[in-house]
């Protein structure tokens, strides 16, 4: 997994509208990139809605929020619309960014071992360097935790 002080791995992925979004286009801004396992699941929905509700405060700080999962663009579109999200969610079906950030790992889900996306959030500074990592991010408090960090 990428760590604090590492250069953030650049990526170009399609958002919920099928438009390319490139991380390095946001150089000069602080960016929060959060990786989550799956659209429309209880924990991932709670996490996304937390960032939706905190997004005005994050924007006031000049922070861009990007969510990433391996779901399809069509899945993201429905999730985005149904939950009234106000930030881009990016489709990484080939798991290029997920793997570059070291987040495709063996996990235990309901007692069964398998491969999956490790829920993690990265705060990337204006120079493209990782300044904070929330490993195994809380679905309930991730956005609040990020805001608390940014306010400290």
Which whole-number Å values give the CA distances from 100 to 38, 45, 69, 70, in the listed order? Answer: 18, 24, 13, 13
Cα 24 from Cα 84, distance rounded (Å): 26
Query: Over the stretch 41-75, which tens digit does the pLDDT of each residue have?
Result: 999 999 999 999 999 999 999 999 999 999 999 99
* Eight-class DSSP state of 23: G
Task: Mark whether 49 is an active-site residue.
Answer: no
What is the per-residue pLDDT for 106? 84
Catalytic residue among 44, 65, 66, 85: 44
Q: What are phi and psi of 95, to 5 degrees?
A: 60, 30
Sign of the CA dihedral with 131 first, then 136, 139, and 144 last: negative
Q: Does position 89 have pLDDT exceeding 90, yes or no?
A: yes
| Contact yes or no for 142/134 (Cβ under 8 A) | yes
Q: Does position 109 have pLDDT exceeding 80, yes or no?
A: no
What is the per-residue pLDDT for 24? 98
> If one looks up domain 25-151 in CATH, what number appears?
3.40.30.10
């Amino acid at each position: 997994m990428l760590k604090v002080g590492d250069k953030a791995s650049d990526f170009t992925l399609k958002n919920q509208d099928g438009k390319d979004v490139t991380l390095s286009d946001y150089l000069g801004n602080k960016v929060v990139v959060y990786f989550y396992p799956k659209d429309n699941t209880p924990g991932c929905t709670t996490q996304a809605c937390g960032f939706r509700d905190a997004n005005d405060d994050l924007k006031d700080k000049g922070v861009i929020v990007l969510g990433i999962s391996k779901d399809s663009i069509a899945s993201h579109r429905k999730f985005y619309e149904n939950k009234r999200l106000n930030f881009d969610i990016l489709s990484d079906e080939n798991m290029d960014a997920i793997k570059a950030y070291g987040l495709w790992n063996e996990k235990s889900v309901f007692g069964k071992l398998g491969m999956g996306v490790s829920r993690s959030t990265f705060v990337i500074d204006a120079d493209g360097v990782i300044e904070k990592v929330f490993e195994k991010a809380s679905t309930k408090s991730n956005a609040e935790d990020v805001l608390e960090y940014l306010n400290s």
